[in-house]
Structure 1
Amino acid sequence: MKYICYAAFSEDFVILAEKIFKKLGESKNVDIRVWDPQKPQEVVDDGIKVIMARGGTGIRIRNTLDLPVVEIPIPFEDIMKTLLKASKIGKNIGVIGYNNLLKGLDLLNPLLNINIKQRFANDEIEMKKQIQKFKDEGIDVIVGGLLQTYIAKELNMNYVRIDLSEKSLEYAYNEAKVILETIRFNTRKNEELNAILNHTKEGYVAIDKEGKITLINKRALQLIPEYEKQPIGTPLVNVFPEFGGLLNVLKSGKEILHETTCLKSTNILYNFIPLKLDNNEVIGGIATFNDSNTITKGEYKIRNKLLSKGLYATYEFNHIKGKSKAIKESINIAKKFADADSTVLIMGETGVGKELFAQSIHNMSSRKFGPFVALNCASLPESILESELFGYEEGAFTGAKKNGKAGLFELAHKGTIFLDEISEMPLTLQGRFLRILQERKVMRLGGDQIIPIDVRVISATNREIKDLVTENKFRHDLFYRLNVLTLVIPPLRDRKEDIYELAKEFLENYSKNKEISFSKDARKALQTYKWPGNIRQLRNFIEKLSIINTVDMINANIINKMISDYEPDFEEIRETKYSNSKACITKEEIENALGFTKGNKTKAANNLGIHRSTLWRLIKKYSI
């Protein structure tokens, strides 16, 4: 398609221009036609973007169309050739043209030994008057363009036409190409801007310094369907009275960010931003806004993305099984903690379900739509633990990723970070962790930027952390920061009434729809054993049992044999702050254990969770 047009005054110049552009090798790229003042729109309809024209034709096109017009110049050498040719006809030469014609030609009179008179006209009527005046003054020959020579011919005067030259047309064509490229560039930029503005979910309204709308996108227009006319050029307050604050931004030059209002019965979040010239003079402003539903959907997508990375909490309080008073009390306390946003320290033996409680607290809290990031502080070496927690910048250490990596605190922003086995965090990292808890800011390894974070910290330990503080293995100031809300989860031996319920549920899960159940004595056998590994140990035990067992009814003998054969032989369980067990095992418990094992002291000791030598000592003590 041709985008550049040469508009000629008459067919004479069309033929001449075709020869010139053919010689230049551009005939396929230029539309050459006679300008028809009766049908100016044809040029636009044909897709022309730039027009080349000379003299009066160019003036008429500018006055008619809103298209760039490149003036075809008349080079000095073309004028000289024409004047020399005219001097052979007569000494008195009248040069006439429009204001684009080179001025001061009468200075050539002494050089060429002629008498040049030069006049200018703005339109065809004035042109005729000036040429008639030349005739009355006795001018021998008229020099000018096509129109001037046509008029001279009508007045029976001699004339010499200033023709198009290759040089002048090539110059104009090069100018036209530059303008076309500029138009294409600006068009592409405008299309990009329109695509961005009209396909975004945000509304955009721009105003000038007078407060009138200069730009508005489709999303903003959707909120004013009752506004019938195009709002461009309309005062902002007439269309969006709720955005009157943007006029204050024009005066103050200070932006307003993340504010809320009700726009046409829709709750929105908006920003008012001033537009400044050279960062000084305010020349306008922009309002950007989004409705609450769109923001909520965006947060939902972000949450789904986090879910795809595994940064979410699966469990809720209804997943915590047990009817005992001890576990119910722990659940009630944890639910109260969920309503708060303070740091939580969960204390309990290994296997009691500390992370289950942490996830449940998160899922019941106001942060439930945010990420849940979990890390076991004992699972990684100190150097790796540091980079995982705090993140790092590119080049921070050998092997660092090219673009760096966000740490777990950053990933947990607006959510919860769960640090299991917090007591195993190296002392060198405890100080930095304490600072994050105090400042709520993190700096990546090798970085120099402070990143604000909004994170709730839940930590857990299976050790007597107070003893570690006393031994200077854990910072006392960090302990006090972590120990704001303390949740103690009881061991399984202190909630014996829950053992059978848990075992039965585990068996149903692992038996794969087989009809398998526990006998009454099996239930007692399960409750007699201390389960030092707590729920984790019980679950693993039932999984082994479901694989090895070949009968439909599981009795005490099967349970005791499985415990004797597969469960570790632990010393008597040391009492901790997590346990409500009595300091020593009762005579009744020992007698029951011996009865279930038919006097087998090794099996009885295993069921009681004590060493065989301890059992012998207790038998002697109770005279059994």
Structure 2
Amino acid sequence: MKYICYAAYNEDFIPLAEGIFKKMGKDVDIQIYDPRNPQKLIESGIKVALARGGTAMKIRKALDIPVVEIPIPFEDMIQALLKASKMGKNIGVIGYNNLLKGLDLLNPILNVNIKQEFANSESETRDMILKLKNDGIDVIVGGVAQTNIAREFNMNHVRIDFSEKALVYAYNEAESILQTIFSNIRKSEELNAILDHTKEGYVAIDKDGNITLINETALKLIPEYTEQYIGTPLANVFPELRSLLETLKTGEESLQQIAYLKGTTVLYDMIPLKLDSKEVIGAIATFNDINTITKAEHKIRDKILTKGLYASYTFDNIKGRSKAMKDSISNAKKFAAADSTVLIIGETGVGKELFAQSIHNASSRRLGPFIAVNCASLPESILESELFGYEEGAFTGAKKNGKAGLFELAHNGTIFLDEISEMPLALQGRFLRVLQERKVMRLGSDQFIPIDVRVVSATNRKIKDLVAENRFRSDLFYRLNVLTLVIPTLRERKEDIYELAKEFLLYYSKNKKIHVTEDGIKALQEYGWPGNVRQLQNFIEKLSIINTSDIIDAYAVNAMIAKYEPSCEEINGIKRSDAKPYIAKEEVEEALKLSKGNKSRAAYMLGVHRSTLWRLMKKYDI
């Protein structure tokens, strides 16, 4: 279909135009413009018209379509003036606004007297040409209409024909306009398709409060709808949304409001439309049936549960009546009520993830996903792609459609980063950027994805020491260490050992009644449990399988500990694992250097008692 038309004044120009367009390889509609039937252009599907002078002016007045006026290039004008100068010295140039102005400046160059006039209609043109004749003009220079009138008055005349250059220029302008029109049509169709197929209702108003847009979802609430509602005051159609008029006055958006709309309870937002972010020129209300929202939330929740991106444990699952554990639980509950970043500190096996899940399930994000990742369990390259995701072709082996990272999957929920101290330095910088900007960029992408994620991290190491050793970024540590939760070790809450052991025995013995004697309980409490609750749980599982008696005494406990568990030495009344039997001289010197000679701190860094440090210093003659 042809969308660009050259509207000619008469048949004289058609052969010339056909030749030029054929040479250009362009399929353009060419017809003589009929001022008595201007709609003919529209009916034939024309989107942009090409015309010159008076014809362009007539089309603009009659039709609401873009008109590109064919210009008169300077060289075409010069050729016409040179030809006219051979017919007489007094030259009258007359035309419409497409003529070049200031032609009289050429008088001394061409040795002529040029008088230039502009007309807005054929009758005005006729009057001007007659006046020019009476003023002694020898020759008239102009278009078809001007030269035809000059011929009637028996005056010499030179017609300005349009050149290939002029037509090519005008066509390129028309094609550019046509592409803009198609782009706008496409965008309009896309918007209409989105608005008419979305589950949300949309109603837009202008600055006077009249409806300018209403989509199918909104129309379903008004079965009697007719086209007359466009341009109708909002208050007449949706009086329940009249608060949208207040948005026009204040220019402030109002979100998550509830209204009873035509018998349906809806959740709606009211957003002002501003010109250059200043002047309010309208407003739009978007609303959704609350029942639809509830169903969608259940569907999302079911999908999250299917993928396993949820937290199983709550504070009710945390066992312990000791003051140390009660204090930790109390602090964790306070942290759950906030939305700040949490750093959980505790030895291996104390239950850091149990606390992380409990914090999530007691927080406002409990309906969102909970994603846990161990920073020490994956190589750096895999950890990076898992955390941040990747685009198709980002690296060899990347999935065809790319993959969302864990930060994206945790959107509106919580991400738990266990053993955060083991995150490679190279990734710490990217992670810090995510914490600061709340945006993530996939590997191989140049687009940022906004995320709303709460970060809970955990470590069994002393991050402060890692910072001092330049093995962990200080700025990241300060970002993570907003709310700090310290989980006590099992040796710091010995009174909880029996309660935990009883719980584990009940589970692993399949409800078989097993009695733990008082000396058996004491034996459990005297051991240091370097692996904490996890070690105790594994120990009870072994005990329930290997021990055949219904009674567990100190002998059974000590025999199992001696055979299967690591030995412990007692330091100031605290049982400590002898997991590091050999400490090299270089390690002792390094600890003393980092602690600046502070013996207590150096011993702490080495994981030994201060008396042990003295013995090591004496041994190595330090």
TM-score (norm 1): 0.56
Please list, as runs of the form range in 1=range in 2, the aligned pairs for 1:230-379 lying within 5 A after superposition: 230-310=228-308, 343-345=315-317
Alignment check: 8 A CA contact 1:390 1:409 kept: no
Could you report, residue by residue, the CA deviation over 1:159-193 in whole angstroms, capped at 9, with x for unpaired residues? 21100111211211121122122222222222222
Superposition deviation, residue 391 in structure 1: 5.3
Answering whether residue 491 of structure 2 is matched by residue 471 of structure 1, we say yes
When the two chains are superposed, the root-mean-square deviation of aligned CA atoms in Å is: 4.8
Counterpart position of 2:158: 160
Contact 2:107 2:114 in 1 (8 A): yes
- 2:273 alignment partner AA: L
Residue 109 of structure 1 pairs with residue 107 of structure 2: yes
- The 10-residue stretch of structure 1 (186-195 or 198-207) with the greater mean CA deviation from structure 2: 186-195
Larger CA deviation: 159-168 vs 231-240? 231-240
Aligned to 1:47: 45
Q: Given residue 492 of structure 2, which amino acid in structure 1 is its aligned partner? A: N
Question: 1:251: Cα distance to partner?
Answer: 2.6
Distance 1:111 1:408 in 2: 77
Supply the distance in 1 between the matched residues of 2:107 and 2:432 (Cα, whole angstroms).
Answer: 82
Tell me what 2:149 maps to. Answer: 151
Question: Structure 2: how far apart are the matches of 1:244 and 1:143?
Answer: 64
Deviation track 1:447-487 (CA, whole Å, cap 9, x = no partner) reads 445957799xxxxxxxxxxxx877315999xx9xxx9xx9x
- Give the 3-state SS of the residue equivalent to 1:399 in structure 2: helix
> Where does 1:411-560 land on structure 2 (aligned, <5 Å)?
447-448=435-436, 449=438, 471-472=491-492, 533-534=509-510
Offset, 1:47? 2.4
Q: How much has 1:288 moved relative to structure 2?
A: 0.7
- Work out which of the residue numbers 548, 569, 573 in structure 1 matches 2:515: 573
Cα displacement (A) at 1:96? 1.3
Q: Which amino acid aligns with 2:284?
A: I
Distance 2:408 2:81 in 1: 83
Which of 380, 389, 399 matches 2:382?
399
Q: What pairs with 1:177-188 in structure 2 (closer than 5 Å)?
A: 177-188=175-186
Displacement of 1:490? 12
* Structure 1 match to 2:3: 3
Output the CA distance in 2 between the equivalents of 1:138 and 1:408. Answer: 86
Q: Does structure 2 retain, via aligned residues, the 8 Å contact 1:389–1:407?
A: no
1:41 CA displacement? 2.2
Aligned equivalents of 2:432, 2:261: Cα separation in 1 = 41
Counterpart of 1:122 (choices 120, 123, 129) is: 120
> How far is the alpha carbon of 1:282 from its aligned partner?
3.0
CA distance in 2, matches of 1:22, 1:295: 59
Tell which deviates more after alignment, 255-264 or 401-410.
Answer: 401-410
Write the letter of the residue equivalent to 1:144: G
**Structure 2 CA distance for partners of 1:137 and 1:453, relative to 1, 3 Å:** closer
CA contact (8 A) 1:396 1:445 kept: no
Once residues 379 and 469 of structure 1 are traced to their aligned partners in structure 2, the CA distance between those partners, rounded to angstroms, is 9
Quick one: distance in 1 between partners of 2:259 and 2:307? 35
Q: Does structure 1 retain, via aligned residues, the 8 Å contact 2:209–2:245?
A: yes
- In the TM superposition, residue 146 of structure 1 has moved relative to its aligned partner by 0.8
| 1:82 and 2:80 correspond | yes
Instruction: Give SS of 1:344's match.
Output: helix
1:112/1:280 Cα in 2 relative to 1: closer, same or farther (>3 Å)?
A: closer
Deviations 1:381-415 (A, max 9, x none): 9899989865599x9955321424159987878xx
Structure 2 unaligned blocks of 5 or more: 321-346, 358-369, 390-404, 421-430, 439-450, 457-487, 519-546, 556-622
Shift of 1:105: 2.4
| Structure-2 separation of matches of 1:272 and 1:97 | 54
Whole-Å separation in 2 of the counterparts to 1:133 and 1:205: 60
The answer on whether the counterparts of 2:70 and 2:167 sit within 8 Å (CA) in structure 1 is yes
Question: Which position in structure 1 is the counterpart of 2:616?
Answer: none
User: 2:58, 2:17 → 1: CA distance?
Assistant: 20
The Cα of 1:68 is off from its aligned counterpart by 0.7
Residue 18 of structure 1: how far off its partner (Å): 1.4
1:43 Cα shift? 1.9
Letter of the 1:115 counterpart = N
Give distance in 2, aligned partners of 1:451 and 1:143: 72
Change (3 A) 1:281 1:115: closer
Aligned mates of 1:446, 1:145 — CA distance in 2: 68
Q: Say which SS state the counterpart of residue 274 (structure 2) adopts.
A: strand
- Bigger radius of gyration: 1
Q: 1:206 aligned to 199, 204, 208, which one? A: 204
Identify if the C-alpha distance between structure 1 residues 445 and 124 changes in structure 2 by more than 3 Å, giving closer, same or farther. closer
Paired AA for residue 399 in structure 1: I
Letter paired with 1:471: R
Q: Deviations over 1:354-397 (max 9, x none)?
A: xxxxxxxxxxxxxxxxxxxxxxx99999899989865599x995
Deviation of 1:289 after TM superposition, in Å, equals 0.4
Hey, what's the Cα distance between the residues in 1 that align with 2:17 and 2:208?
49
User: Secondary structure of the equivalent of 2:515?
Assistant: coil
**Cα deviation digits, residues 524-545 of structure 1 (max 9, x gap):** xxxxxxx96226x8xxxxxxxx
- Cα gap change, 1:610/1:97 in structure 2, threshold over 3 Å: closer, same or farther? same
Given that 1:267 and 1:291 are in contact with CA atoms closer than 8 Å, whether structure 2 keeps it comes out as yes
Distance 1:304 1:532 in 2: 31
Q: Structure 1's 180 and 228: CA in aligned 2 closer, same or farther, altered over 3 A?
A: closer
Separation of aligned partners in 2, 1:378 and 1:408? 27
Question: Which residue of 2 is the match for residue 20 of structure 1?
Answer: 20
Distance (Å, rounded) in 1 between the aligned partners of 2:412 and 2:102: 77
TM-score, normalising length: structure 2: 0.57
Could you tell me which runs of 5 or more consecutive residues in structure 1 were left unpaired when the two chains were aligned. Answer: 315-340, 349-376, 420-424, 430-442, 456-467, 493-530, 538-569, 577-605, 615-624
User: Residues of 1 paired with 2:100 and 2:142: CA distance?
Assistant: 11
* Contact 1:346–1:489, Cα closer than 8 Å, also in 2: no
User: What CA distance in whole angstroms lies between the structure 1 residues aligned with 2:256 and 2:138?
Assistant: 80
Where 2:150 maps in the other structure, the secondary structure is: helix
- How is 1:604-615 mapped onto 2 (pairs within 5 angstroms)? 609=550
2-structure distance, mates of 1:445, 1:175:
47
Q: Aligned pair in 2 of structure 1 residues 275, 75: CA closer, same or farther (>3 Å)?
A: same
Contact 1:392-1:446 within 8 A present in 2 as well: no
C-alpha change, 1:383 and 1:294, in structure 2 (3 Å) is closer
Conserved in 2, the CA contact under 8 Å of 1:204 and 1:216?
A: yes
Q: Which residue of 2 aligns with 1:174?
A: 172
In structure 2, what residue type is equivalent to 1:13? F
Letter in 2 for 1:472: E
Give the 3 Å change call, closer, same or farther, for CA 397–258 of structure 1 in structure 2: farther
Distance 1:379 1:190, change over 3 A: farther
Contact 1:3–1:50, Cα closer than 8 Å, also in 2: yes
Task: Name the residue aligned to 2:594.
Answer: none
CA drift of 1:235 comes to: 2.5
